[in-house]
Amino acid sequence: MPTAAQLLQKFSDTKTLPHVALRLSKLLSQEGSRIQEFDALIKMDPVLVTRLLRMVNSPYYGLSEKITSISRAIVFIGMKNLRNLVVLDGLKDLIPEDTQTGVFSRKQLWLHCVAVSICSQLIAERVFGQMGEDVFLCGILHDVGMIVEDQTAPDLFVKTCTALASGSGALPLLEKEIIGTDHCEIGALLAKEWKMPEEIKEGIRCHHTTEAPGRPDTMTGILQLAEFMAGKLGHPELKGLPAALSASLAGHVRENLPDYRLLAKEIPARMAMARDLYEGQGA
C-alpha cells in the first residue's frame, strides 16, 4: 500500500498550488513585507485581479464607493483574507471536472470545503470572538488530502467511498485499511509543503480526531463544529456521510444553540456569494 508521502509525491509531480499563492504565503510569514510587494505579485495574475476587485466591491462589503485600485482593495480586505482568496481559487484549479462514480462528487467536495471555511470563520468570530482568517484557511484546506487520493489512487479511493456508503466504518479507518493512509495525514503533509502555519497543519491532521478534541474554541474544535454545521446544511464531504459531533462539542452546541441557529441562517447567503465569486455564476 502507498504511504501518504508516496501519494503526495505522485500528486506534486503533476499538480502544485499556483505560484502566486505560494509567494503570498511566504510574504505573509515575513516581517516587514510591504503592500507594494503584494500589489506587484497580484498584478501577475489577471484572473486574481478580477476576483479580488469583485470581492471587495460585492454587496457583502456594501461599499458606497467602488474600489478600482489593487492596493486599496488589499488594505480593505486585509492580507490574510487576500491569501485565503488566492488559496481557495488555486485549490479549485487543482480539482478536475466532475465524474459520475455514484459515491463521490468532486463538486460536492469543493462545496463542502467552501461551506466549512465559511462556517469556521463565522464560529470563530461570532461565537468565540476570535480573528477568523486562519481558521477559514484551515477550512479551505482540511479535505485537500481527499483531492490527492482521488487523483493518485482513484480505484482505491472509490472503493473506500463505497465501503463508507455501506456503513462499513469511519472514513479515516477505511482509508488506512484500503488505501494505506488517510486524507488527514496527506493534507497535513501537503500543508507543510505549501508552508502553511503550524496551527493550520495540525487542524488538518486532527479534524477527524473526536476522542479528545480539547476545547471547542481551538482550531480543531472549530473545524469539527464547522464540519457538523456544513453537513447539517446539506454540504457533507461525501454523499450520505452523517454529521456527528463528540459529546463535549455537542454539549457546547446545546449550550449555545441560539448563536448557532443565527449562524445557520447566514450560511446560505455566504455560500451564494462564494459560488458567484469562485464559479462565476449565481447560486
Convert the pLDDT of each residue in 169-185 to its tens digit: 889 999 999 999 999 99
The answer to whether residue 13 scores a pLDDT higher than 80 is no
pLDDT bracket for residue 282 (50, 70, 90): very low
| 48 and 163, same domain (yes or no) | no
Tell me which of 93, 122, 141 is where a domain ends. 93
pLDDT bracket for residue 279 (50, 70, 90): low
| Per-residue pLDDT, 170 | 86
What is the pTM for the complete model shown? 0.80
| Per-residue pLDDT, 105 | 84
- Of 193, 200, 190, 164, residue with least CA distance to 179: 164
| 22 and 11, same domain (yes or no) | no
Structural domains of the chain, count: 2
Cβ–Cβ under 8 Å, residues 267 and 229 = yes
Top-confidence residue, 174 or 92:
174
| 9 and 72, same domain (yes or no) | no
The answer to whether residue 278 scores a pLDDT higher than 60 is no
Give the burial class of 242: count Cβ atoms within 10 A of its Cβ; 0-12 exposed, 13-18 middle, 19 or more buried: exposed
* CATH at residue 146: 1.10.3210.10
Average pLDDT of the residues in 15-39:
70
Q: Please give the residue range of the domain that contains residue 68.
A: 18-93
| 152 and 260, same domain (yes or no) | yes
| Per-residue pLDDT, 101 | 62
| 201 and 125, same domain (yes or no) | yes
The answer to whether residue 252 scores a pLDDT higher than 70 is yes
Average pLDDT of the residues in 45-59:
76
| 154 and 267, same domain (yes or no) | yes
The answer to whether residue 123 scores a pLDDT higher than 90 is yes
| 108 and 247, same domain (yes or no) | yes
Whole-number Å distance between alpha carbons of 197 and 99: 33
| 127 and 108, same domain (yes or no) | yes
Whole-number Å distance between alpha carbons of 235 and 231: 5
| 131 and 271, same domain (yes or no) | yes
Average pLDDT of the residues in 251-274:
90
Whole-number Å distance between alpha carbons of 52 and 191: 23
Residue linked to cell 474554541: 217
Tell me which of 93, 123, 148 is where a domain ends. 93
| Per-residue pLDDT, 115 | 92
| 176 and 235, same domain (yes or no) | yes
Cβ–Cβ under 8 Å, residues 241 and 231 = yes
Tell me which of 63, 93, 123 is where a domain ends. 93
| 126 and 8, same domain (yes or no) | yes
| 150 and 272, same domain (yes or no) | yes
